[in-house]
Structure 1
């Protein structure tokens, strides 16, 4: 039982860290887009992609 709780805790923390790092990488990439690229994808779409 203790091992299961520890495994869930570690996996949840790992998943949160992975999500944080992935969102950060996407946000950094979107910041390098030109105005034309932002227009192509649409601001609303880019906001949704970086905040999910």
Structure 2
């Protein structure tokens, strides 16, 4: 999966959760996973706190 924009983009949710748990258990096993990548968050609504 190259671009993840929506939950509807996921074909196999159990496989995605399995991979996430494996990364959580051993976060340094894939050191190069996020290198040279950019993550952006956009919030359109104000916080409701």
Q: Which has the larger radius of gyration?
A: 1
The answer to which structure, 1 or 2, has the higher relative contact order (CA under 8 A, 6+ apart) is: 1
TM-score (ref. length: structure 2): 0.37
Task: Name whichever structure is richer in helix by fraction.
Answer: 1
TM-score (ref. length: structure 1): 0.35
